[in-house]
Amino acid sequence: MPRTGGGFSGPLSAIAVTGIALGVVVMVMAVSILRGFQDDISGKVAGFGSHLTVTSFTTSDAYSDTPVAVDSTLLEAMRSVPGVRHVQCFATKGGMVKTEEQIYGIMFRGMGEGYDTSFYHSCLVEGRLPSETNDVLISSTISSKLGLKGGDKMRTYFWSGDSYRSRAFTVCGIYNTDLAEMDELYVVGDLRQVQRIEGWGDSLVGGYELLVDDFDELQATARRVADVLPYDLQLRTIVEQHPALFSWLDLLNANIALILTIMCLVSAVAIVSALLIMIFEKGTTIGLLKALGASNAEVRSIFMLKASGLIATGVAIGDGVALALSLAQNHWRLLTLDPESYSMAYVPVEIDPWVYVAVSMGTMAVCVAALLLPAAYISKVSPAKTMRSE
């Protein structure tokens, strides 16, 4: 801790620096954890359904898609839209897995050629991704409930019209996202399986999925994509498909705003208290400076510079501690969570330089603005009274 002066103002200045540092740590960590939490959850949901989904306007039952014709011209138009990173074909089909002991309902998700599998790579805990037509990827939840492991055959039944069709898939790998509503439902495999079950042929798919470059620009990108779509196709964003989940994530922003407000006030009170004590303790010095011809503005600037140095020191220490804690959490995952309750096994922390800059500048601005009130007391100090008191 840097030297802050003697007398009673010395320890109080040290307390003010500590208070500001703690406030900055709490604010930076709160924002970083919230953004990490939001990015982790939205990334998992997007991994199963992408950011934008283009499907037929015609409604179908909950267990199958209304087919869409593969249009190379439309695919190229969507790929050329600014903000779109990748376009891929998909299809889903509801079914039932039958083992010797139980029957379990699943949603089969078929991946087309050129499908972005990076999400499943990141969630893979055993085996490999599907490479053959009969290969499927199941979640650790389904694996545990049905007693299936890599290499096992998985007998699955799908309704098609008034009859059902059976498929014997091979479990090639197991994934885990900690997102219960997805892990309990989805089995991932080849798009051609859905096409054959439905009798579509190679020219029909369930729809198109689009991944965007910047999630913050999702709505703007969606509007641009909608402009190139024909009248018989509809576009839905990931937020529209999961409104309850994203409404819940938005509610967290209100909590963070409250934390930021409280910690800024705490930091301001700490530095204002330190400055007031400093002014009271140095009353004789203020009177002497005024007697020697110094103006109120010049005297105020001395104390403001001193207090600003304390603020800058506290902010710098707070940023350093917050960065160290964030790096430690991301590397060693010291703080763990219950996956069933939080949909993740550890506390995610996003390290964004702009968060540090915004919190630091905001804290300094609030604290400096708060200093104007106690600094105004300097103009009330009378040189004659301070000299007589000495």
pLDDT average, residue stretch 90-110: 94
Question: Is the pLDDT assigned to residue 195 strictly greater than 60?
Answer: yes
E strand or H helix that includes residue 161: none
Question: Is the pLDDT assigned to residue 320 strictly greater than 70?
Answer: yes
Structure confidence at residue 2 (pLDDT): 45
Question: Is the pLDDT assigned to residue 390 strictly greater than 60?
Answer: no
Residue 230 DSSP class:
-
Question: Is the pLDDT assigned to residue 188 strictly greater than 50?
Answer: yes
CA distance 230 to 61: 23
Question: Is the pLDDT assigned to residue 385 strictly greater than 80?
Answer: no
The domain ranges of the chain are: 9-43+246-389, 58-231
Kindly indicate the confidence band of residue 3, based on its pLDDT and cuts at 50, 70 and 90: very low
Torsion of CA 85, 86, 91, 97, to 10 degrees: -80
pLDDT average, residue stretch 267-279: 86
Kindly indicate the confidence band of residue 1, based on its pLDDT and cuts at 50, 70 and 90: very low
Question: Is the pLDDT assigned to residue 93 strictly greater than 60?
Answer: yes
Structure confidence at residue 248 (pLDDT): 85
The predicted model scores a pTM of 0.85
Non-local (6+) Cβ contacts of 48 within 8 A are 109, 119, 179, 182, 186
Structure confidence at residue 5 (pLDDT): 47
Q: Are 13 and 4 in contact (CB under 8 A)?
A: yes
For residue 226, count other CB atoms closer than 10 A to its CB: 14
Structure confidence at residue 9 (pLDDT): 62
pLDDT average, residue stretch 47-72: 88
pLDDT average, residue stretch 317-328: 97
Question: Is the pLDDT assigned to residue 104 strictly greater than 70?
Answer: yes
Kindly indicate the confidence band of residue 382, based on its pLDDT and cuts at 50, 70 and 90: low
Helices (runs of H) and strands (runs of E) counted in the chain: 14, 12
Give the sign of the dihedral formed by CA 14, CA 16, CA 19, CA 24.
negative
pLDDT tens-digit map of 251-262: 888 888 888 999
CA distance 360 to 366: 10
CA distance 9 to 275: 8
pLDDT average, residue stretch 140-147: 96
Q: Is 64 exposed, middle or buried (0-12, 13-18, 19+ CB in 10 A)?
A: buried
What percent of the chain is modeled with pLDDT above 90? Answer: 64
Question: Is the pLDDT assigned to residue 62 strictly greater than 60?
Answer: yes
